[in-house]
């Protein structure tokens, strides 16, 4: 990636978001107000999030910067599709038929694959960054790369519930 400034990156993401939004709005004849766009997601896990109740799309700037191409190609249409999907059918599920229809219209032929990208409902996650651990109880543990490396180097982490040391689950 060329050396773009933070401002330029944000500007491009905003413009692309609006362009997807306008295309989708026209195609599906939905009467949605232009969503607010903010870059206030922190951490290395969530790339984007559509907040239906506020008609807002939140992005994670550091993730966008690190994975600029895939962010533009996947995260931006993914979140815009949520905003449109919700207006199409208020009760539609976040990655259901309506969302997939909008994604296909945006040129993403296999939205199911894109869905993989999400670990849970609405926010888009960077799944590759997470390592799954388990303990003696049923609590699920997902750790980021930094913690994973620390554990590899001998640091022990305990489950807050069962107090046992968590162990890495190799896929
Ligand atoms: Zn999603
Ligand atoms: Zn436990």
Burial track 57-72 (b if 16+ CB lie within 10 A, e otherwise): bbbbbebbeebbeebb
Ligand lying nearest the CA atom of residue 162 = 2
Ligand nearest to the CA of 138: 2
- Kindly give the distance from the C-alpha atom of residue 123 to the centroid of ligand 2, in angstroms, as a whole number: 25
pLDDT at 109: 83
User: What is the DSSP annotation of 25-62?
Assistant: HHHTT--PPPPEEE----SSSEEEEEEGGGTEEEE-HH
pLDDT of 128: 53
> Residue 24: what pLDDT?
96
CATH code of 91's domain:
3.30.2010.10
Whole domain around residue 140: which residue ranges?
130-168
Which portions of the chain are predicted below pLDDT 50? 115-122
The answer as to whether 110 is a domain residue is yes
87 C-alpha to center of ligand 1: Å? 15
Distance from residue 131's CA to the centre of ligand 1 (Å): 20
Cα 153 to averaged position of ligand 2 atoms, centre (Å): 21
pLDDT digits (tens, 9 = 90+) for 158-167: 998 899 999 9
Q: What is the reported pLDDT for 121?
A: 38
Per-residue b/e over 16-27, b at no fewer than 16 CB within 10 Å?
Answer: bbeebbebbbee
pLDDT for 67: 85
Q: Is residue 146 located within the same domain as residue 113?
A: no
Provide the domain count of the chain: 2
- Tens of pLDDT along 87-114? 888 888 888 899 999 999 999 987 765 5
Q: Which of the residues are catalytic?
A: 79
Distance 170 CA to ligand 1 centre (A): 26
Domain presence at residue 115 = yes
Residues 111 and 50 in one domain: yes
Say yes or no: 138 and 66 in one domain. no
Distance (Å) from CA 90 to ligand 2 centroid: 37
Task: State the pLDDT at residue 11.
Answer: 98
pLDDT on residue 79: 93
Instruction: Give yes or no for a contact between 28 and 84, defined as CB atoms under 8 angstroms apart.
Output: yes
Ligand at minimal distance from the CA of 57 is 1
- Name the residues around ion ligand 2, CB cutoff 5 A: 135, 137, 139, 159, 161-162
Closest-lying ligand to the alpha carbon of 49?
1
pLDDT at 70: 86
Burial of residue 98 (number of CB atoms within 10 Å: 0-12, 13-18, 19+): buried
pLDDT number for residue 124: 57
Q: Is residue 156 part of a domain?
A: yes
């Amino acid at each position: 990636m060329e050396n773009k400034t933070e401002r330029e990156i944000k500007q491009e993401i905003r413009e692309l978001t609006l362009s997807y939004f306008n295309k989708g709005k026209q195609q599906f004849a939905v009467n949605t107000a232009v969503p607010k766009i903010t870059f206030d997601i922190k951490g290395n896990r969530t790339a984007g999030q559509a907040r239906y109740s506020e008609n807002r799309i939140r992005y994670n700037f550091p993730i966008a910067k690190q994975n600029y191409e895939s962010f533009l190609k996947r995260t931006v249409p993914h979140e815009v599709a949520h905003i449109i999907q919700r207006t199409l059918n208020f009760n539609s599920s976040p990655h259901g038929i309506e969302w997939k229809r909008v994604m296909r219209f945006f040129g993403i032929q296999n939205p199911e694959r894109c869905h993989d990208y999400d670990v849970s409902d609405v926010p888009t996650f960077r799944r590759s960054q997470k390592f799954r651990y388990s303990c003696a109880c049923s609590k699920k543990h997902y750790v980021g790369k930094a913690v994973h490396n620390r554990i590899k180097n001998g640091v022990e982490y305990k489950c807050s519930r069962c107090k046992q040391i968590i162990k890495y689950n190799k896929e």
